[in-house]
Amino acid sequence: MKGTIIKGIGGFYYVKASDNVYECKARGVFRKKRITPTIGDVVEIETSGEKGSIVDILDRRSYLVRPPVANIDTMLLVVAAAAPEPSLFLIDKMLVNAEINNIHPVLCINKTDLEKRNDIKKLYENAGYEVFCVSAEKNKGTDKLKKYLSGRTTAFAGLSGVGKSSLLSIITEDTLETGDVSEKIQRGRHTTRHVELFELNNGGFVLDTPGFSSLELEGIKADELWEYFPEMRNHRDECRFRGCSHINEPDCVIKNKVESGEIASTRYGSYTQLYKQLKSVKEWEKK
């Protein structure tokens, strides 16, 4: 039987398969192959009663290292319209970081009951991202978001206090007892939170990814960074110099578009800042 690992506790994996959750152990063969079953993995299990064992792990679509979760399709980057004030640099960094991990990033502006922030919506739509504006408090825009999330595995990421648990509770209210998500997320607050997938009623899973927003970029070179900015990768090979880094080169299409306002200066500012960070990491590693 095929299923999805939704959580792991004390050496057991809890596998959701058809309408049941099976408490499973992993076969020793994975240790030899040096693969560890991970939350989000699609696995083949053999069951007897409520127990089972994992006999195969199917190929992963994506793999996030921190927190370790397999097969995340979408990263919903949640920011608050206000309280806490959004940082455009942090948004840009997280958008890039999701794509580095092979995960499709989408922006979600919560707390729009406090402020609209259509400026941020426009900024990121122009850059090529999908943007959802919601209010968990007033239950606005959440139906549209719910529809979008069905059928895929979505990680919620964002700073503490932006409303991730509030949104997760609303999104899962048909499938979970009221308060289940927030209780589970709350419980782990002062220790290491364990990650768990919550199922949606139209299929698909959602999860919280504590700590993702504080990760630095890893795994790409500075000269590849522009490919992680949708509005820049649309202009591949248009600059005068092949392999233009869009930093100091003359006749740079990207810099011209920043000057004309077609590419937002905040986005380009984040690009140069992240570029420098990636360069300095490289220099440091060489020593």
Ligand X SMILES: Nc1nc2c(ncn2[C@@H]2O[C@H](COP(=O)(O)OP(=O)(O)OP(=O)(O)O)[C@@H](O)[C@H]2O)c(=O)[nH]1
Which chain residues interact with ligand X by CB under 6 A?
110-111, 113-114, 135-137, 158, 160-166
Q: Token digits for 254?
A: 């990207």
Q: Pick between residue 46 and residue 137 the one whose CB is nearest to ligand X.
A: 137
Site map (CB under 5 A) of Zn ion, residues 190-229, x = contact: ----------------------------------------
Convert 11-46 into a string of H (helix), E (strand) and C (coil).
CEEEEEECCEEEEEEECCHHHHHCCCCCCCCEEEEE
203 binds, among ligand X, Zn ion, none (CB under 5 to 8 A by kind): none
Residue 142 binds which entry of ligand X, Zn ion, none, CB below 5-8 Å type-dependent:
none
Spatial distance between the Cα atoms of 78 and 213, rounded to a whole number of angstroms: 10
Q: Which residue, 193 or 235, has its beta carbon nearer to Zn ion?
A: 235
Position 107 contacts Zn ion (CB under 5 A)? no
Size of the residue set binding Zn ion (CB under 5 A):
5
Among positions 239, 258, 274, 278, the unique one binding Zn ion when judged by CB under 5 A: 239
252 binds Zn ion (CB under 5 A): yes
Residue 257 in the binding site for Zn ion (CB under 5 A): no
Minimum CB distance to ligand X, residue 197 (Å): 17
Question: For the purposes of burial, counting CB atoms within 10 Å of the CB of 280, is it exposed (0-12), middle (13-18) or buried (19 or more)?
Answer: exposed
